[in-house]
Amino acid sequence: MAKKQQSEFDLVLMPSAGPQRKVNVVLVSSVALSFISFWRAAAIVLNDMASTVYYIGGISEQAIGKAAPWFVLGVMLFAYAVRAVYVESCTMFTRGGVYRVVKEAMGGPLAKLSVSALMFDYILTGPISAVSAGQYLVGLFGNLLALPPIHWQFNAETHPESVKLLSMLIACGITAYFWRINIIGIHESSQKAMRIMQFTTVMGVLVILWAGLTSHYIRRHGIFPLTARAYPGIQGW
């Protein structure tokens, strides 16, 4: 008598009758999640996307004046629309990154353009963030030196070359530090990214609270103007 061959897989028969409950399932297919947790992967993404928040206001106001918040708001609304399109494309479960998603949706030329823009953004975001951090640290150091009993003025007006040099050195140190962390591995770099996001989250809450107080004060003196003003050097040269 022949023996019945047993399968190494367990078969589960679902009941065909009876009430069925709808379950919403979100599939996350990122390679990074195979090595690190979801929160560490989110910290890496937020360090890239949210770091601009801490310096874009000052750069925009220096370029176009007090109307800068309206332009930043317009960019954020446009970015939200782009995000909605990208989230919709992610539901198609297209394997790959930006290149594959854009290629499947709009063709090869636009996919190459998208990847080129993304690489251009990566190249610019790191140095700008590092230099802005250096300028903030030098400015904080100069403000502390101006307090009693030292009363020494160290800022961009009194010592412009020294401020630029120190900002550049700090930016180089930050770039070298994160380069070394990334070379060690994604587990270590994601841990550092997680710690940075924890500190920046606290700073973000403080900035939001201070912005609320500022908006309450500005409400008595009028809102931001809608007219932009071009300052010298806005073209970049």
Residue 109, both tokens: 């030329």
Answer for the pair 156, 163: CB distance below 8 angstroms, yes or no.
yes
Residues contacting 80, CB < 8 A, separation 6+: none
Output the pLDDT for position 70. 86
Residues contacting 192, CB < 8 A, separation 6+: 178, 181
Output the pLDDT for position 32. 60
CA angle 127, 125, 194 (to 5 degrees): 100
Residues contacting 67, CB < 8 A, separation 6+: 224, 225, 226, 227, 228, 229
Output the pLDDT for position 153. 85
Answer for the pair 95, 29: CB distance below 8 angstroms, yes or no.
yes
Torsion of CA 92, 97, 101, 103, to 10 degrees: -150
Place of tokens 């710690």: 195
pLDDT in tens, 74-92: 888 888 887 777 777 666 6
Answer for the pair 174, 134: CB distance below 8 angstroms, yes or no.
yes
163-194: b or e for each residue (b if 16 or more CB lie within 10 Å)?
Answer: beebbeebbeebeeebeebeeeebeebbebbb
Output the pLDDT for position 168. 92
Closest among 50, 68, 43, 71 to 58, alpha carbons compared: 68
Please state, in angstroms and rounded to a whole number, the distance separating the CA atoms of residues 164 and 172: 12
Residues of the chain with pLDDT under 50: 1-2, 7, 9, 237
Alpha-carbon separation of residue 40 from 34, 46, 74 (angstroms):
12, 10, 30
